[in-house]
Amino acid sequence: MIWLIWRQHRKQALFTLAALAALAAIMVPTGLAMHTKSAGLGLDACQTALGSASLITQTEAVSRCESLGHQFQQEFGGMGFIAVLFVVMPVLVGVFFGAPLVAREVEQGTHRLVWTQGVTRLQWALAKFGLVGAMTTVLAVGYALGVSWWFEPVVSASTGRLNYLSFDVQGIVPIAYTLFALALGVFAGTYWRKVLPAMGIALVGFAAVRVAIEVLARPRYLPAQSLTFAPAGGQTPNPASGDWVMDLGIRNAAGELVVPNAQIGPCPPGGCGDRPAGPGAVNWLRFQPGDRFWLFQGIETGIFVLLAAALVFFALRRLRMIA
């Protein structure tokens, strides 16, 4: 049974390995160039020196780190557009691996031959899902490790790992996205028993769930923290903290938000009386601390793994109803 399944899917596996090898041929030299540039600028050492506190005093070291980050972004800022391609890669697994897994067998009628050769539907499904799932997991782990390494210098030079895009292509969540996409494709193939409709449902469903989790759920995994700080104190958000700033603005002396999406810079020698919102105005931030990165990764990975498990369970139930 396993030999037959391997014969059915070996071309997909070989094409996928070839695509990953071609991708590695691009990622390795560009990744090495980015890591070398970051180390040469001293960006990592500069950010390490700033520590992880959310607020620090504005110093020459802060300005220097920000300047080094801008220099790196000027040369490699375009890599963020390439990273967008990595965000969509998991759904390709669902569309081209998951959706045809059952739908093609049913569409072509080959499932009847297998199920009349002493192989039960459950045995067939477990063998098929297990082998393809194992191959997908191995490939997803390699992909996640490679992309995390490749994108690390860009994240260090930008706003931190918790922000959109940075979070999506680093850590362990790409593995969970891939398994969810595969399970969704399989489930779609048990309901819409033709390959093309199943592929379309897998694509649309993956995008809808990913956007919903990212926009609605992720900011609420834990309550956000707030900070207010007076411009007279010379404090500034730490560019090395990795905090995910969700809202910011200027509040007046009564605590009302009067200027959203803005911050007051350090006060001049004459004081801050002529600044926006008048005397007593303070800067305000609402943010998720950068040290929650791995906790958020674990929460989101758990969500998508549970969704994948539920989809596989319902797909197995649907197989009983296929004639």
pLDDT at 174: 95
pLDDT at 269: 56
Quote the CA–CA distance of 92 and 182 in Å, as a whole number: 9
pLDDT at 3: 58
Q: Which residue ranges in the chain fall short of pLDDT 50? A: none
pLDDT at 243: 92
Where is 265: in which H helix or E strand? none
73 by Cβ neighbours in 10 Å (0-12 / 13-18 / 19+) ranks as: middle
The closest alpha carbon to 220, from 152, 292, 285, 125, belongs to 292
Beta bridge partners of 55: 237
Name the residue with tokens 């990913």: 210
Helices (H), the chain: 2-41, 43-50, 60-76, 79-93, 99-108, 110-115, 121-157, 173-191, 195-212, 293-319
31 by Cβ neighbours in 10 Å (0-12 / 13-18 / 19+) ranks as: buried
**Cβ pair 178, 90 in contact under 8 A:** yes
Q: How far is CA 168 from the centre of its chain?
A: 1
**Cβ pair 27, 146 in contact under 8 A:** yes
pLDDT at 272: 56
Quote the CA–CA distance of 189 and 202 in Å, as a whole number: 9
**Cβ pair 7, 128 in contact under 8 A:** no
Residues 6+ apart with CB under 8 A from 118: none
**Cβ pair 251, 284 in contact under 8 A:** yes
**Cβ pair 204, 264 in contact under 8 A:** no
**Cβ pair 180, 159 in contact under 8 A:** no
| Token digits of residue 139 | 């490939």
| Token digits of residue 185 | 């494709």
**Cβ pair 156, 280 in contact under 8 A:** no
Quote the CA–CA distance of 98 and 132 in Å, as a whole number: 9
CB atoms within 10 A of CB 4: 14
pTM reported for the whole predicted model: 0.89
pLDDT at 59: 81
pLDDT at 82: 84
